[in-house]
Amino acid sequence: MTATTGELAVRTRGLRKRYGQLDAVAGVDLSIRSGEVFGLLGPNGAGKSTTVEILQGHRARDAGEVEVLGEDPATATRSWRGKVGIVWQDESAPGELTVRETVRHFSRYYPNPRQPDEVIELVGLAEKAGSRIKALSGGQRRRLDVALGVIGGPELLLLDEPTTGFDPGARRQFWSLIRQLAAEGTTILLTTHYLEEAEALADRLAVIAGGRIAAEGTPAHLRESYSGEATVEWTEPDGSPRSERTTTPTRTVAGLMRRYDGEIPGLRISRPTLEDVYLRLTGQESAR
């Protein structure tokens, strides 16, 4: 499906940002549909955070077109800013305030905020509403960051590396929260280093490398289009293991079936994972 302009929450064409001699963002084209979860993947320094900062209106671009919720972030109004929530990597809430005090305080910045207690419940902090922020665990503080990102009732939520430092259990709980927000109709742009996270949450992904989009599509599309060879493994009649790397694994298996006249001992077909594809697209394949 090709989204029309009216269906897009985010649209960039030829987006560029330079720092000295470095092209941090070197001609990025993005189209993010309203209501979808979109993952932006890339190594450190690839241009992810700079792109998010430009979309939020926090940083000026050097060239290109940008439209977020129908407006240019560089000249957007205060009412537009109330429609865009953001959760940065670094928490900023003062540690001496309680969760409820903090969420209520931030709600006053918006013309039509959500109910603070409703948001506290949404992010799973109802039992900690009266606790001071400095007493919260890392995962609980990150949930508070999300509460502050959604208190304004945003149409678009920008999440910059939201689960960095989480243990696996806290990360899975956070995923449930993001799915709930998406189910409510919030458009979400997620930057992350965790390929499992991107595959679990994102409707579509873009891989950015060197300030440019290297590939874009659904997780399944990226695996199928950029996966390269599969590995077919089986066991010979003498018990010795065999394997073959091939771009046509079905043909290889068909040949083995003719040889074995039925079941193939130890048959296993392994296809490259999204992580394999990501490392290939970002030039890090040799790091594995």
For 23-36, how does the pLDDT look when each residue is reduced to its tens digit (9 = 90+)? 999 999 999 999 99
Taking all residues of the chain, what is their mean pLDDT, rounded to a whole number? 88
pLDDT band at residue 2 using 50, 70 and 90 as cut-offs: very low
Q: Could you tell me if 157 and 85 are in contact, meaning their C-beta atoms sit under 8 angstroms apart?
A: yes
> In the prediction, which pLDDT does 286 show?
54
Helix (H) or strand (E) holding 84: strand 84-87
| For residue 77, pLDDT beyond 90 | no
Q: What are the sequence ranges of the domains in the chain?
A: 1-83+155-217, 89-153, 225-287
- Alpha carbons 136 and 224: distance in angstroms, whole number: 42
Mean pLDDT along residues 5-31: 91
pLDDT band at residue 72 using 50, 70 and 90 as cut-offs: very high
Helix (H/G/I), strand (E/B), else coil: 261: coil
DSSP structure string for 184-208: TT-EEEEEES-HHHHHHH-SEEEEE
Model pTM score: 0.80
Q: Could you say which architecture CATH assigns to the domain 1-83+155-217?
A: 3-Layer(aba) Sandwich (3.40)
Q: Which of 4-18, 27-41, 236-250 bottoms out in mean pLDDT, i.e. has the lowest?
A: 4-18
Q: Could you tell me if 230 and 270 are in contact, meaning their C-beta atoms sit under 8 angstroms apart?
A: yes
Pick from 235, 241, 245, 234: which is nearest to 271 by CA?
245
What pairs with residue 63 in β-bridges?
16
Q: Regarding beta strands 268-270 and 230-235, do their DSSP bridges make them parallel or antiparallel, or are they unpaired?
A: antiparallel
> In the prediction, which pLDDT does 91 show?
63
- Alpha carbons 87 and 96: distance in angstroms, whole number: 20
Kindly list the distances between the CA atom of residue 254 and the CA atoms of 224, 240, 269, in Å, as whole numbers in the listed order. Answer: 20, 20, 13
| For residue 54, pLDDT beyond 90 | yes
Q: Which residue has the higher pLDDT, 145 or 228?
A: 145
Pick from 160, 212, 198: which is nearest to 55 by CA?
160
Mean pLDDT along residues 128-142: 89
- Residue type at 91? E
For 192-223, how does the pLDDT look when each residue is reduced to its tens digit (9 = 90+)? 888 889 999 999 999 999 899 999 999 988 88
| For residue 259, pLDDT beyond 70 | yes
pLDDT band at residue 8 using 50, 70 and 90 as cut-offs: very high
> In the prediction, which pLDDT does 92 show?
62
- Alpha carbons 64 and 61: distance in angstroms, whole number: 7
pLDDT band at residue 1 using 50, 70 and 90 as cut-offs: very low
> In the prediction, which pLDDT does 205 show?
94
> In the prediction, which pLDDT does 5 show?
44
156 CA to centre of own chain: 13
Question: What distance, in Å, lies between the first and last C-alpha atoms of the chain?
Answer: 35
210 CA to centre of own chain: 18
Q: What is the dihedral of CA 197, 200, 206, 208, to 10 degrees?
A: 20
Q: Which residue has the higher pLDDT, 247 or 125?
A: 125
